[in-house]
């Protein structure tokens, strides 16, 4: 597979593109490579809105903010501007130079507000803050008003933690070394949940999922990236109900992307290797509250063990087509973050499980017409 780089400047791409070319520069209506990394898509008013991290030439930290693009056909995108800009006020949580990653927007029908969640790291603190930032707007494209950041579910226990695990006296101080078998067992038993119980649970890579009943969930890498959490949001989507579960304790999952088909919930994730790609993981559940069962890597063929040199970010249900889902991933370029490209692939189903196969080029006719 040829990995193409170098796309931050204006280029010629025929207008009216009618296909996806994974890993190639993808030009917007201004002929600039789309700058919406770690993104997700909102469908509203017959339009797709793609929100993602604006990345610059030399750093992955946020210099601009959360970018927004719109499209009616999924191939051709117009830059709508910066939905949530970084702040120029020194001391603001979203001051330029902070980390704003994996933004996702959902619409709340009750409040008629668009709600934006993203992974926030505070300036100068590396990835230690592990917070979620929340912003809101009356319009899909923004501007979004930044509300606050937090660590989810302070003072709340996960639904699937036993009384014994909650009451355990084992703490990090009991271990001189991390990553031993005993330490991993303690992680499994909720070592970090107890450590972070009062201040709230760590929240890094993330996505949002809205179920058929309108309930929304924040799915995030927690517990030092060792364990995923699925947390129910309040009716206005601006906070948490306190109901949450742990998924795959100690499994080291990042980059969660969730969809639902025929009553089954599917989640595709990655392992934790920084900006380097690794093999995707896949989970299914009959209830959002689990149990979540792990399956093998959904990718097949050459470079399947590296998710085709990419990392999941979102799974997009295609409007107007039955069982049509697009796997969206990032092919990161840490040396020149702005040039990172996008890997969009159609999800096929074999024995009712998702399968991802590399395609140099494809279009929506891959999906069967609606019956
Ligand atoms: C992997 C995550 O998935 C990305 O969003 C980003 O946080 C990088 N790690 C940073 O190394």
Q: 99-108 and 113-121: which strand pairing?
A: antiparallel
- Whether residue 53 is predicted with pLDDT greater than 70 in this model: the reply is yes
36, 37, 38, best to mutate for ligand 1 pocket (most atoms within 8 Å of CB): 38
The encoded tokens of residue 330 equal: 């990032």
CB-based burial, 309-338: b 16+ in 10 Å, e otherwise: bbbbbbbbebeeeeebbbbbbbbbbeeebb
pLDDT tens digits for range 99-111: 999 999 999 999 9
Handedness of CA 65, 148, 314, 252 (dihedral sign): positive
Q: Is the pLDDT of residue 45 over 90?
A: yes
Q: Ligand 1 pocket by C-beta < 6 Å: which residues?
A: 38, 101-102, 205, 254-255, 274-275, 311
* Confidence tier at 371 by pLDDT (50, 70, 90): low
- pTM given for the model: 0.95
Report DSSP letters for 355-371, one per residue: EEE--SSB-GGGSPPP-
Residue keyed to tokens 């994996």: 102
> 274: CA distance to ligand 1 center in Å?
5
State the distance from the centre of ligand 1 to the C-alpha of 191, rounded, in angstroms: 23
If one compares 11 and 367, the residue with the highest pLDDT of the two is: 367
What gap in Å lies between CA 53 and CA 68, rounded to an integer? Answer: 9
Number of neighbouring beta carbons within 10 Å of residue 113 = 19
Q: Atom 9 in ligand 1: which residue has the minimum CA distance? A: 274
Probe target for ligand 1 pocket from 219, 311, 337, with the most ligand atoms within 8 Å of CB: 311
Structural domains of the chain, ranges and CATH numbers in brackets: 27-150 (2.115.10.20)
pLDDT at 152 (0 to 100): 98
| Residue 158 CB coordination number (10 Å) | 22
Judged against a pLDDT cut of 80, whether residue 85 lies above it is answered with: yes
Do 279 and 297 touch, CB atoms closer than 8 A? yes
User: In the structure, what pLDDT confidence band is assigned to residue 369 with cuts at 50, 70 and 90?
Assistant: confident
Q: How do residues 16-28 score in pLDDT, each as one tens digit?
A: 789 999 999 999 9
How far apart are alpha carbons 339 and 232 in whole angstroms?
A: 35
């Amino acid at each position: 597979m040829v990995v193409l780089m170098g796309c931050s400047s204006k280029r010629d791409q025929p207008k009216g593109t009618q296909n996806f070319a994974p890993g190639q520069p993808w030009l917007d209506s201004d002929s600039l490579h789309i700058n919406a990394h770690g993104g997700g898509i909102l469908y509203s008013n017959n339009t797709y809105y793609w929100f993602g991290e604006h990345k610059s030439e030399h750093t992955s930290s946020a210099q601009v903010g959360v970018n927004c693009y719109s499209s009616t056909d999924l191939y051709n995108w117009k830059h709508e501007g910066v939905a949530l800009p970084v702040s120029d006020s020194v001391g603001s949580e979203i001051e330029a130079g902070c980390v704003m990653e994996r933004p996702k927007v959902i619409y709340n029908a009750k409040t008629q507000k668009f709600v934006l969640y993203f992974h926030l790291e505070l300036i100068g603190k590396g990835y230690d803050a592990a917070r979620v930032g929340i912003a809101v707007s009356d319009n899909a494209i923004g501007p979004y008003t930044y509300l606050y950041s937090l660590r989810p579910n302070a003072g709340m226990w996960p639904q699937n933690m036993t009384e014994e695990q909650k009451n355990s006296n084992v703490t990090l101080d009991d271990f001189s070394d991390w990553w031993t078998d005993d330490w991993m067992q303690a992680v499994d038993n909720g070592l970090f949940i107890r450590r972070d119980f009062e201040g709230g649970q760590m929240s890094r890579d993330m996505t949002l999922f809205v179920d058929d009943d309108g309930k929304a969930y924040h799915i995030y890498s927690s517990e030092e990236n060792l364990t995923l959490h699925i947390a129910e949001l309040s009716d206005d989507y601006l906070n948490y109900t306190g109901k949450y579960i742990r998924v795959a304790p100690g499994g080291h999952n990042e980059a969660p992307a969730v969809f639902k088909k025929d009553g089954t919930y599917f989640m595709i994730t990655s392992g934790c290797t920084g900006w380097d790609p690794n093999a995707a993981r896949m989970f299914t559940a009959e209830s959002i509250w689990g149990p979540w069962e792990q399956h093998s890597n959904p990718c097949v063929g050459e470079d399947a063990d590296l998710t085709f040199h990419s990392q999941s970010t979102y799974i997009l249900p295609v409007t107007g087509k039955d069982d049509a889902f697009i796997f969206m991933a990032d092919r990161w370029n840490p040396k020149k973050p702005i040039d990172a490209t996008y890997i969009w692939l159609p999800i096929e189903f074999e024995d009712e499980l998702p399968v991802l196969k590399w395609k140099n080029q494809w279009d929506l006719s891959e999906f069967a017409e609606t019956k």
